[in-house]
Amino acid sequence: MKVGFVNIFGKPNAGKSTLLNALIGEKLAIVSPKVQTTRHRIKGFLNTDEYQIVFSDTPGIIEPRYKLHEKMMQSVKNSLEDADIALLLVDADENPEEADHIFLSLRLRVPAFVVLNKMDKVPKVQIDEVTNFFAAKPYCKKVIAISALKKINTDRLLEAILNFLPDGEPFYDKDDLTDLPTRFFVGEMIREKIFELFQDEIPYHTAVVVREFKEKISLTKITAEIIVNRESQKAIILGEKGKMIRQIGMSARMDIENFLGSKVFLELFVKVRPKWRDNDIHLKEYGY
């Protein structure tokens, strides 16, 4: 049986979360056009009788500006240590030299595939040029062009992964999809709505903490806090007469109900925690 860890690395907004969701066939990682949406390492399991692949979505690689960023980059480092295969994801329309600089800095010790994403938006001649660029790099075992969003060539990528995976015993139960708790995904769905509904810095100044999660026969009661840095941000999240927080709650509740397969009562509060992104105690409390 083929078994192994396949971890996805790249710059912010390269499409790592979209690729994880496409490979698993389920929406595990939240997706946004904004950069730095992913803050945690998110594992998804692809199971058959022939293989178990543990895919990991990781935060986009950046220069840390806050302790939150340092925690995010630590999860990238941890993902490097247990990878059997590294998928180095690149937006096919971006400067390959910038990505190359990042990939060299990872000092990979495992086979790496350079995956050129968003191939449907780039002329073939450009794909060929970028393919040749990365194929000459010592860390690159293979270059594969895909569209994660449209699932173009993802089957070809999966076939290449299986050819490089070692034999072994499964790490997780065949029926498991992830090792993260349901509460984590509920918090992420709420955070995704903040990325969708607010512009500029607001999404990056917020965290979501699920304080209560009670499953009953006909209803799941969830209480969550949206953490912000300043009172002015709290006012924006709440909106005039509570309009915006109601919109967050309504949109998030629909996604959570689809995810859980049950009715949900969702209650949201907004809390101000100044400079929480640089506070070790707060970061630990919020799951970072």
Domain boundaries, the chain: 2-164, 182-285
Residue with tokens 């950046």: 62
Structure confidence by residue, pLDDT tens digits, 235-267? 999 999 999 999 999 999 999 999 999 999 999
Question: Do residues 176 and 184 touch, judged by C-beta distance below 8 A?
Answer: no
Percent of the chain with pLDDT over 70: 100
The 3-state DSSP composition of the chain as helix, strand, coil percent (nearest 5) reads: 40, 25, 35
pLDDT band, very low/low/confident/very high, at 124 (cuts 50, 70, 90): very high
Does residue 25 sit in helix, strand or coil? coil
2-164 has which fold? Rossmann fold (3.40.50)
* In the predicted structure, residue 34 carries a pLDDT above the cut 90: no
CATH code at 182-285: 3.30.300.20
Amino acid at 268: L
* 152 vs 119: CA distance, rounded Å: 8
Q: What is the per-residue pLDDT for 35?
A: 85
Across 193-217, average pLDDT: 93
Q: What is the per-residue pLDDT for 33?
A: 85
- The total of other beta-carbon atoms located within 10 Å of residue 96's CB is 20
Q: Would you state the structure tokens that stand for residue 217, as one six-digit string?
A: 């026969």
